[in-house]
Each structure stands twice: as C-alpha cells, then as structure tokens.
Chains A and B, each alone.
Chain A
Amino acid sequence: MTLITPERNQAAGHVDPAAAYVPDQSRAERRTSFEVADFPVPHGREEEWRFTPVDRLGNVFSDTPTDDREGDPAATFDATEVEAVLAEPLGPGAAPRGTVLVPADRAAVVASANTDQALHLKLAADTVYDEPLRLRIHGNGAGRRSNAHYVLEAGPHSQGLVILEHTGSAEHTGNLEVIVGDGANLTVVTLQQWEDDAHHLGQHDALVGRDAAYRHIAVTLGGAIVRVNSNVRYAGPGGEATLLGVYFADAGQHLEHRSFVDHNAPRCTSLVTYKGALQGDTAHTVWVGDVLIRKEAEGIETYELNRNLVLTDGARADSVPNLEIETGEIAGAGHASSTGRFDDEQLFYLMARGIPEAEARKLVVRGFFADIVARIGVPEVVDTLMAAIEAELAATGS
C-alpha cells in the first residue's frame, strides 16, 4: 500500500499544530456501526473531528429524539415537489434502508437511531424526470434538535435531479442514503442556506451502479456549523462519481466538507472538486478529501481538487487531500489543494482599466468560482449561488 502524505495549505499567518498529524490508519479501517454506543461523543482530538468545534455540538451529538412539539415540529419537511417519487417510508432495518449507509460517526449514528421512519424517494426505472425533485427542509428554531434520514433510490437507467434545500435554524442531523441503479444518471444537490445560528451535520452515502453516473453537489452558504460528508462506493464497473462543493464562509462560520471515494470496483472514475471563499474574523472552512484505491480497482481514474480564496485577514482554511493506492494498475490518480489570499495585483490590474474596486473584487471572486459553477451546470442552483455570493460581497461593503 502506498500512502501519499497529505498536502496541507493554510492561509498565511495561521499555524495549525494538529496539521502535523499524519493518519496511520487506512481509511478502509474507519469504524461504521448502527450502535450509538460504538461512537462516544467526540472530544475533538479524533482524526475525523480535529478541525470541528465539537465543544459547541453537544446538542447534535446527544442521543435524543427530534424536538417536535404539539403542532410545531422542529423542522418542516415540504415534500410537495417530490410527490412524484414519494414511496412508503422505511423503518430501521427495512431494506434498502441500511444497505448503503452505515453510520460512520457520532452525528450519523444518532440521526439514524432517532429516525423512526425514513423518507423514501424512488425514481422509477427507465424514467427521465425533467423537473427538479426538491425537498425543502426548514428548521423551526435555533437549538431544537432535528433528526432525519432519507433513502433515495434511482432505478436502473433513470435520470433525475434531487435537491435538498435547508433553511431556517435547527440542530440538525441528516443522513442521505443513495442507491444509483445501473446506468442511472442522478444528481443530488444539498443546499445549506441556514440562518446564522443553525448547526447541521450530515452523512451522505451513495452506492453507484454499473455504468451509472452520480453527481453530488454541496453548496454551503449559511449556518454556524455545517459539516457534510459525501461518500461514494461502487456496485460495479464503469461508474462515474462527481463530487462538487462550493462554500462561502463569513465571520463566525465553520463550514466543513469531507468526502470519501472508495474505489472498490474496476474501471470507475471519480472527480472531486471543492472551492470556497472566506471572509471575516474566525471564518473557518475545512475540506478533507479521502480517496482509497483498492486492489481490485484496476483501470480507475481519480482526481481531487480543493481551492480556497481568503478574502480578509483572520479567516482560516484547512485543506487535506488523502490518496491511498493499493494497486498500480490505474489510469490516473492525482490531487491538488491550495489556499491563496485575494490577489491585490489582480485588483490593481482591473482598477487600472477603470473598474471600481467593489466591482473588481466581485469579478475576481466570480472568476474564482467560474469553473466550478460551469461544472455544476444546474441553472437554478447556479443562480441561487451567484446571488448569495454577490450578497456576501455586498455585505462587507468593500
């Protein structure tokens, strides 16, 4: 086994003592379990929690039911735009629930244990869904615990776009379990537009079928602490996984994205691209991208990339790619990660052509996101994203 040591990049002026830590355990050996007792409440020194402000997450880590009150649920799930694919909910142990997602951390296990009936969406085989299938999740109050587990099945050769939209505030744990049937083409967007005081931890696991194409797009703009883990493995050869993420962190926000691509089948591909911007004191983003290429994963191709743009002092971006390779018979594997400060030379160049500073900044930031935005290619997600970025930039008045 080759273990390529992670590159680490941080904004100038920030030294992270924990960054010296090099994992000595293969990603394959990470524990998964349905038993809450198997995951003690994290103290923050664990490999997978070392960047996260766990001291503020006591509520989401606790093994507690959803804080629903008489006529006032902790979170409202508006399923009107997914009615076409709504299937019977699934209790614990009712397949396919539990066949793809086994909780891999404390937040996921308490979400699983405290969700009695998992929302079940089923895209019929050989069917193309033209309209986006949108599930709106609205948190009804800061501090209120909300647990969720969704099972999403895309039948063989189906095609569709599913959007999970998070707004409002809550202490939300949400698991998403995705089965991409053979030859299916499924895009999942998870949009985090929470209020400033929301906490949201989520584990999204997908099993990508033979010759299927799966895209997972995380767009995180709001929330005090958001951590979305997007994991993929393959049910057969020829699968394609594209994991994309865009985030914009302001002062006081901790936005964390982790991905794990388990190349457990031959001739599959994965492409992981996350880009983020940060501004304001204590804005903190984390990206950890794990890729494991197992012995049997011959002929696969993988590339992962993370770029961060630090717009102001006091913000910090952690970026850690990990690539483990157990076979030499691959088509390609690579990773790149960088964190750069806003480039004043670019600003000067644009201003020297008459463009006012605020507009020049906007151009540079939009330009930074341009390639990933093009790759997302879902017009309504892109529009929401660009509008949010403009608003973020306008808010600083720079």
Chain B
Amino acid sequence: MATLEIRDLHVSVDTEQGPKEILKGVDLTVRSGETHAIMGPNGSGKSTLAYSIAGHPKYHVTSGTVTLDGEDVLAMEPDERARAGLFLAMQYPVEVPGVTVSNFLRTAKTAIDGEAPKLRTWVKDVKSAMENLRMDSAFAERNVNEGFSGGEKKRHEILQMELLKPKIAILDETDSGLDVDALRIVSEGVNRAKEGTDLGVLLITHYTRILRYIKPDFVHVFVDGKVAEEGGPELAERLENEGYDRFLSAAAQN
C-alpha cells in the first residue's frame, strides 16, 4: 500500500523574462490500486506536474510538498525517486544513441532492485513483456527510442513500467499517437500492472477513449496550473461533450 501525496504544489520555470509560475497550488493524492485521470487543455501544466514529481531539473518547486509514504520526494534526485517506486511514462521519450534497449532495461532493473536480475528469468520476463505489447524482439537490440515511431516509443515506456514494477506510475499522454489496436495493447499493459502489482496510476490524457480501457476511479480537471474540479468517471464524459470552456472562462476571471 503506497500513497503519493501532493500538497499545495507551486512550480516555476525559468524564462527569459524571469521565473514563470506554471503550477499554482496542486493538491492530489494517489494510492495503490487507484486510477486517477487528469484532463485539461493544452498548456495547463499537466506535463509540468508529471516532470516535477519525477524531478526534472528544469522545474523549480517554489512551495508545497510531495511525499511518497511520508518520505519527502522533493529532496530526492530523479534516480532516487524512481528507486522509491515512482515511474513517469513520458509524453516525449528521449533517444539515447548507442545504448541498446536490452542494456538499458537491464541497467535500470539492476538499479531499481539493487542487484542484477537473474539472467534466465530476466530474459524470459523481457521476452514475454515484449510479446504482450506486440513489440518485435528486434527492438531489444535497437538503440533506446532511436528511430522509434511515436507509438513504438509509447509501448517502450509501458514495457519499462511493466518490468520495473513501480508503486505509482504517471502516464503523460501515453495514449496520444496510438492507433486503436495500439491503444488497446498499451491499456492492457497498464491493467496487467494494476492487477499484478496493485499499481497506482495518474493518467494524463486529452481523450476519453483510453478511459474506456483503463477505468478511472477519479477524474481531475486541470486548468491554469491547478485542479479546477474533481469527480468520478462521469466527469470525463461531460468534458468530452462540453469541452473546457466552462473552466477556462472561470480561470480567466481570476
């Protein structure tokens, strides 16, 4: 049982005109087994939230707290956060030339577990996880994300999530750029992780179509750097039909 708690989180980025506040007081709690969907317009700060939790150096937390089971996440380096059980499936996964997927996965697994995985079972685990995600075994010998299509990058993110077995995973628009089949395959991966390891999920998305496969327990509407409204799955349907106008005009008045 793990709990990720975000309290009154304020985050800025450096711009040429000085620091610019992007997150303006985010409150959110994600527990093991729960699935939270975050929906919101472009530029509202969803990726900023995801990166801030993962510890990207570009984002400066100016106030607020993030804890995982009471431990201060903000005091940790990005690698320590990952080892503590956090995982971020990125909106734009990075290419790492010359580093093969298989070397990368083994190095990450070794770092997360504190010891090298048993070769026999590891090879089997990787193989079956790749099969489940319909990734050709040739990907293992390709360089990390190099020349991957958008959809292949997303599958590769979910592959890592399944193998590294985090406690809480943040999926930043993992559904965008996926065709219908890929969306189903990736969603199955997330659901396997939810069942297998009681994963808590923070799912950032623009579309309700992924929510047909991954059932959210909570939906948060994210506008202008904070949560503007919260509800159950029915809120997603409303957003799909009505859009964000209602929230945007409210934000503009502030």
Q: For residues 346 through 392 of chain A, which have their beta carbon under 8 Å from a beta carbon of chain B?
A: 346, 348-357, 359-360, 363-364, 366-371
**Residue contact A367 to B111, C-beta cutoff 8 Å:** no
Q: Which residue of A lies closest to B81 (CB)?
A: A352
**Residue contact A345 to B94, C-beta cutoff 8 Å:** yes
Which residues of A sit under 8 angstroms from B93, Cβ to Cβ? 349
Which residues of B sit under 8 angstroms from A356, Cβ to Cβ? 79, 111
> When chains A and B are docked, how far (Å) is the Cα of A391 from the Cα of B107?
20
**Residue contact B111 to A355, C-beta cutoff 8 Å:** yes
Task: With A354-B108, A359-B107, A359-B111 as known contacts, state yes or no: A348 contacts B78, CB within 8 Å.
Answer: yes
Q: How far does the Cβ of B221 sit from chain A's closest Cβ, in whole Å? A: 26
> A344 an interface residue at 8 Å Cβ cutoff?
yes
Q: Which residue of B lies closest to A344 (CB)?
A: B57
> B200 an interface residue at 8 Å Cβ cutoff?
no
Which residues of A sit under 8 angstroms from B79, Cβ to Cβ? 351-357, 360
Q: Which of A350, A354, A367 has the most CB of B within 10 A?
A: A354
Q: For residues 36 through 83 of chain B, which have their beta carbon under 8 Å from a beta carbon of chain A?
A: 54-57, 77-79, 81-83
> When chains A and B are docked, how far (Å) is the Cα of A370 from the Cα of B93?
21
> B112 an interface residue at 8 Å Cβ cutoff?
yes
**Residue contact A346 to B98, C-beta cutoff 8 Å:** no
**Residue contact A349 to B96, C-beta cutoff 8 Å:** yes
Task: With A344-B57, A354-B82 as known contacts, state yes or no: A366 contacts B98, CB within 8 Å.
Answer: yes
**Residue contact A354 to B112, C-beta cutoff 8 Å:** yes
**Residue contact A357 to B94, C-beta cutoff 8 Å:** no
> When chains A and B are docked, how far (Å) is the Cα of A353 from the Cα of B77?
11
Question: Per-residue CB proximity of B122-162 to A under 8 Å, as 1/0?
Answer: 00000000000000000000011000000000000000100
> B99 an interface residue at 8 Å Cβ cutoff?
yes
> B28 an interface residue at 8 Å Cβ cutoff?
no
Which residues of A sit under 8 angstroms from B57, Cβ to Cβ? 344, 348
> When chains A and B are docked, how far (Å) is the Cα of A364 from the Cα of B112?
19
Task: With A345-B94, A363-B107 as known contacts, state yes or no: A353 contacts B99, CB within 8 Å.
Answer: no
Q: Which residue of A lies closest to B86 (CB)?
A: A352
Which residues of A sit under 8 angstroms from B95, Cβ to Cβ? 346
**Residue contact B98 to A353, C-beta cutoff 8 Å:** no
Q: Which residue of B lies closest to A345 (CB)?
A: B94
Q: Which residue of B lies closest to A374 (CB)?
A: B98
Which residues of A sit under 8 angstroms from B87, Cβ to Cβ? 352
Which residues of A sit under 8 angstroms from B98, Cβ to Cβ? 366-371
Task: With A345-B94, A368-B97, A368-B98 as known contacts, state yes or no: A352 contacts B88, CB within 8 Å.
Answer: yes
Q: How far does the Cβ of A311 sit from chain B's closest Cβ, in whole Å? A: 15
> When chains A and B are docked, how far (Å) is the Cα of A346 from the Cα of B98?
12
Q: How far does the Cβ of B160 sit from chain A's closest Cβ, in whole Å? A: 6
> When chains A and B are docked, how far (Å) is the Cα of A342 from the Cα of B144?
17
> B26 an interface residue at 8 Å Cβ cutoff?
no
> B164 an interface residue at 8 Å Cβ cutoff?
yes
> B90 an interface residue at 8 Å Cβ cutoff?
yes
Question: Per-residue CB proximity of B83-117 to A under 8 Å, as 1/0?
Answer: 10001101001111111000110011001100000
Task: With A364-B96, A367-B96 as known contacts, state yes or no: A353 contacts B56, CB within 8 Å.
Answer: no
**Residue contact B78 to A363, C-beta cutoff 8 Å:** no
Q: How far does the Cβ of A368 sit from chain B's closest Cβ, in whole Å? A: 6
Which residues of B sit under 8 angstroms from A367, Cβ to Cβ? 96-99, 143
Which residues of A sit under 8 angstroms from B81, Cβ to Cβ? 352
Which residues of A sit under 8 angstroms from B111, Cβ to Cβ? 353-356, 359
Which residues of B sit under 8 angstroms from A346, Cβ to Cβ? 94-96
**Residue contact A349 to B99, C-beta cutoff 8 Å:** no
Q: How far does the Cβ of B202 sit from chain A's closest Cβ, in whole Å? A: 15
**Residue contact A351 to B97, C-beta cutoff 8 Å:** no
> When chains A and B are docked, how far (Å) is the Cα of A369 from the Cα of B98?
7
> When chains A and B are docked, how far (Å) is the Cα of A346 from the Cα of B56?
11
Q: Which of A343, A344, A346, A357 has the most CB of B within 10 A?
A: A346
A352 touches which of B82, B97, B99, B144 (Cβ 8 Å): B82
**Residue contact B160 to A353, C-beta cutoff 8 Å:** yes
Q: Which residue of B lies closest to A370 (CB)?
A: B98
Which residues of A sit under 8 angstroms from B160, Cβ to Cβ? 353
**Residue contact B77 to A364, C-beta cutoff 8 Å:** no
Which residues of B sit under 8 angstroms from A366, Cβ to Cβ? 98-99
**Residue contact A355 to B108, C-beta cutoff 8 Å:** yes
Q: Which residue of A lies closest to B89 (CB)?
A: A352
> When chains A and B are docked, how far (Å) is the Cα of A360 from the Cα of B54?
16
> When chains A and B are docked, how far (Å) is the Cα of A363 from the Cα of B144?
11
Q: How far does the Cβ of B47 sit from chain A's closest Cβ, in whole Å? A: 13
B residues at A contact (CB < 8 Å): 54-57, 77-79, 81-83, 87-88, 90, 93-99, 103-104, 107-108, 111-112, 143-144, 160, 164
20 new A-B pairs (CB below 8 Å) besides A354-B82, A363-B96, A364-B99? A343-B94, A348-B57, A349-B90, A349-B93, A349-B96, A349-B144, A351-B82, A352-B54, A352-B79, A352-B88, A354-B79, A354-B164, A355-B111, A356-B79, A359-B107, A360-B79, A366-B98, A367-B99, A368-B97, A369-B98
Shortest 3 CB-CB contacts between residues of A and residues of B: A367-B98, A370-B98, A354-B82
